[in-house]
């Protein structure tokens, strides 16, 4: 049986509604996408195929945005065969038929159940990263993991650069399970050759880099006397040289594409002094000034660059630090570190991630060369 349904039926759906367009006497709604431009502002809520999937040459392909997965869409086959799933780079287009003729569904499908809903608003979703590729260093844990997750939910294709493969795999799996798109590369950002291979792999997969988040970093405790040369070099290698390497190798791709966004993770200690952070403060001060330099040098290339300066954020690093140094009074020290910030608690990684989302979105297009504290009042109210 060949099923033909013309798209004017879809146009009867009222703008701004969530009305199900399935016919009243049908178990589902049969639809053939003929002109992609006619299905803008529609997205798939549910997509189920009963029977064998057609062959790939003339088969059915579901193109889905990450937001679709978040609202619970599903795609499954019953009775054998697999339905090919791929990611679509352009927002608003959600379903298509492959082949020379886009006006029929072959008889190998006994039932196509496609429920379409119109978006609740014709305006662009705020803080959307749909269609953009975001490279996030240290994206497998802590603040980096939160940024990876939030960016994926906002529609970005996330490319995680990590040293910890288990953390990278876990974060990528979580993003994919939530309907997002993510990949990871194992990379030591302190080694330029390693970063070069990784950026090349990202370009091979994603074809572009729209956003670079320099999040990877290591911490150090000590003053100018107690900090050894080896420790100083270790901090510099990752926190400063690592940022330089990623900038050096990613910026040319942004220039070629006509623009992009760089977001560096500095720290409140790049703007103020606290005890025993000599090497760490040095490194984050360098991140701050690199932010200013990149913003200035690449402004005419359509590239914005900002940094976030977090105060103490409750991450696995903090837990590890407390477990190692205060095993007998861990809770007491956790409370002490928390109330040291005027707001009375540590920050959450996701709170930094949402600030990052704003700064990397088109809504922040007039913002560049700035440092944004996410600090619970630490800098100005302590």
The catalytic site residues sit at 280
User: What does the alpha-carbon distance between residue 47 and residue 77 come to, in Å, rounded to a whole number?
Assistant: 10
Secondary element (H or E) of residue 115? strand 111-118
The span from the CA of 109 to the CA of 111, in Å, is 5
Residue 194 CA to its chain's centroid (Å): 22
Query: Residue 267: which residues within 8 A CB-CB, separation 6 or more?
Result: 280, 281, 284, 287, 309, 310
Taking residue 34's Cβ as centre, other Cβ atoms within 10 Å add up to 17
What does the angle CA 188 – CA 193 – CA 194 come to, to the nearest 5 degrees? 30
> How many beta carbons lie within 10 A of that of residue 78, not counting itself?
12
Query: Tokens 């809903």 correspond to what residue?
Result: 117
DSSP string, 179-216: T-EEEEEE--TT-HHHHHHHHHHHHHHHS---EEEE--
227 and 220 Cβ atoms separated by less than 8 Å: yes
The count of other CB atoms within 10 Å of the CB of residue 9 is 14
For 374, the token pair is 């996410």
Pairing of β 85-87 and β 60-64: parallel
User: What are the φ and ψ backbone dihedral angles of 121, each rounded to 5 degrees?
Assistant: -145, 145
> Between vectors from CA 280 to CA 274 and to CA 283, what angle results, nearest 5°?
125
**Cβ(213)–Cβ(356) below 8 Å:** yes
Nearest 5°: the CA angle 215, 278, 167 is 30
Tell me the longest C-alpha to C-alpha distance in the chain.
82
Given a contact cutoff of 8 angstroms between Cβ atoms, the answer to whether 96 and 59 are in contact is no
């Amino acid at each position: 049986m060949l099923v033909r349904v013309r798209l004017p039926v879809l146009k009867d759906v009222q703008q701004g509604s969530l009305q199900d367009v399935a016919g009243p006497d049908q178990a589902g709604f049969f639809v053939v996408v003929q002109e992609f431009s006619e299905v803008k502002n529609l997205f798939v809520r549910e997509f189920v195929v009963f029977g064998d999937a057609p062959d790939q040459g003339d088969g059915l392909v579901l193109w889905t945005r990450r937001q679709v997965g978040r609202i619970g869409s599903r795609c499954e086959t019953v009775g054998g065969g697999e339905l090919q799933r791929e990611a679509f780079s352009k927002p608003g287009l959600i379903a298509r038929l492959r082949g020379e003729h886009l006006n029929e569904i072959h008889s190998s499908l006994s039932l196509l159940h496609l429920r379409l809903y119109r978006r609740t608003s014709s305006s662009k979703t705020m803080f959307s990263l749909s269609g953009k590729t975001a490279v996030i260093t240290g994206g497998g844990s802590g603040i980096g993991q939160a940024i990876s997750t939030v960016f994926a939910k906002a529609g970005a294709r996330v490319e995680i650069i990590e040293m910890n493969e288990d953390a990278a795999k876990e974060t990528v799996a979580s993003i994919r399970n939530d309907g997002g798109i993510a990949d990871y590369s194992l990379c030591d950002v302190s080694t330029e050759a390693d970063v070069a291979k990784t950026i090349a792999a990202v370009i091979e997969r994603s074809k572009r880099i729209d956003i670079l988040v320099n999040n990877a970093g290591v911490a150090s405790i000590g003053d100018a006397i107690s900090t050894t040369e080896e420790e100083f070099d270790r901090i510099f290698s990752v926190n400063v040289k690592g940022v330089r390497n990623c900038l050096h190798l990613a910026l040319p791709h942004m220039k070629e594409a006509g623009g992009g966004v760089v977001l560096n993770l500095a720290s409140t200690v790049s703007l103020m002094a606290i005890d025993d952070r000599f090497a760490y403060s040095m490194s984050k001060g360098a991140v701050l000034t690199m932010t200013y330099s990149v913003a200035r040098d690449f402004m005419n290339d359509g590239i914005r660059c900002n940094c976030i300066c977090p105060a103490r954020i409750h991450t696995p690093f903090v837990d590890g630090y407390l477990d190692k140094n205060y095993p007998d009074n861990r809770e007491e020290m956790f409370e002490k570190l928390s109330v040291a910030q005027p707001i009375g608690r540590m920050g959450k990684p996701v709170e930094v991630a949402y600030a990052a989302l704003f700064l990397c979105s088109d809504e922040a297009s007039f913002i560049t060369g700035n440092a944004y504290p996410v600090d619970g009042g630490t800098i100005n109210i302590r």
